[in-house]
Structure 1
Amino acid sequence: MGLLTQLVTLPLAPVRGIGWVLDKVVQTAENEFYDPAPVLEELRNLEETRSRGEIGQEEFDRREAELLRQLERKTRR
């Protein structure tokens, strides 16, 4: 980029900066949305809850099925 081009496009710098920031925000949000770690943690907690006898097998199966569906959606990106 030449000096003249930089001077002419200088007023557009804030717009380019905002675009860059918005792109980073979208990337971060998508990474967090598709991250399977929270679902895996919930599955571990659910198993611990069942092993302590705090929930029955039927409740465990229902919640586990929902968490596995969530995990599948997150990893199918």
Structure 2
Amino acid sequence: MGLLSSILSLPFAPVRGVIWLGEVIQDQVEQQLHDPAIVRRELEEIDQAMAAGHLSKEEHAAAQQAVLDRMVRPSVGTVPPEGKE
């Protein structure tokens, strides 16, 4: 029966491959979004831009908050805990 099911499911192999590739890409993106070294570099760049006069205090605070929100926000596609939405 295993041989027969393997043969019948063979046309779906490309679809499974695309799904797997999408999952791998999503994992890599999430790792980069939450990597402490990248977040620190982004925060340092924001501080440097403010020191150079390219950002106002409000823009600086908003940019920092955006980076920190990205760190705290749950990943897309995760299920919230029971009773919380």
* 2:57 pairs with 1:72: no
- Structure 2: segments with no counterpart, 5+ residues: 75-85
Structure that is richer in helix per residue: 1
- Structure 1: segments with no counterpart, 5+ residues: none
Q: What is the Cα-based RMSD across aligned positions, in Å? A: 3.1
May I ask how many residue pairs the two structures share in their alignment?
Answer: 72
TM-score (norm 1): 0.58
| Partners of 2:10 and 2:4 in 1: CA distance | 10
Paired residue for 1:9?
Answer: 9
Paired residue for 1:22?
Answer: 22
TM-score (norm 2): 0.54
Identity %: 28
Higher relative contact order (CA 8 A, sep 6+): 1
User: Aligned letter for 2:53?
Assistant: I
Shift of 1:34: 4.5
Paired residue for 1:55?
Answer: 53
**Is the partner of 2:6 in helix, strand or coil?**
helix
Shift of 1:62: 2.5
